[in-house]
Amino acid sequence: MLDEIDMTILSILQQHGRRHHAEIAKEVDLSPPAVMERVKKLELRGIIKGYHALLDAKVLGKDVVAFIGVSVGHQRFITAFASHMVRQHDVLECHHVTGEESFILKVKTANTDSLERLLGEIRSMEGVTRTVTKVVLSTPKESQVLEFEQPDGLESPGEDKTFMEGTEKKKLAEGSRGK
């Protein structure tokens, strides 16, 4: 079971994965070795799966984001399709889902030409009966951070209240100008 300190450590690491244990220790009122031990246990339990750099896809030439719904005609093709998608560089996520489609894919690719090539490859796979593609126009929120309920009176670690308050003031000012 996770206690409040573990949850706080997880929240801090999600926001700032490169924080030193000594800095985290100050926030949770433990010694750095105690924090290091807790982090190690969270890693061993598989709660912390890794540490990653967050990259700007557009700067790296991946300008098009799309979600592709893929219908597979028979259960016997499911595993082969999923295995093939795991090897596709432009496929960031592959989810086997319920509903009209069998899979939902999230892709980031260079341009519409590369998206069209990927769609052609997907459509030519054995068992694929249909695809539905939605190209993303903008992304107001994209996150891998899991948020936890904080006990009364505690703020989320790493939460920048000044930024949030400034953002809210800006939204209100923009809204009043539009009237």
What pLDDT digit, counting tens, does each position of 34-90 carry? 999 999 999 999 999 999 888 999 999 999 999 999 999 999 999 999 999 999 999
**Domain assignments of the chain as residue spans, ordered by start:** 1-54, 64-135
User: What integer pLDDT is reported at residue 149 of this predicted model?
Assistant: 72
| 3-class DSSP assignment, residue 70 | strand
- Summarize pLDDT for 118-129 with one digit per residue, the tens: 999 999 999 999
How high is the pLDDT of residue 39? Answer: 97
Q: Which fold has domain 64-135?
A: Alpha-Beta Plaits (3.30.70)
- Residue 109's DSSP bridge partners are 64
- What integer pLDDT is reported at residue 167 of this predicted model? 38
Question: Residue 150: what pLDDT?
Answer: 57
Would you say residue 164 has pLDDT above 70? no
Which CATH number applies to 1-54: 2.60.120.10, 1.10.10.10, 3.40.50.300, 3.90.226.10?
A: 1.10.10.10
pTM for this predicted structure: 0.76
What CA–CA distance (Å, rounded) separates 69 from 32?
47
Q: Could you give the CA distance from residue 16 to residue 8 in angstroms, rounded to a whole number?
A: 12
Beta bridge partners of 141: none
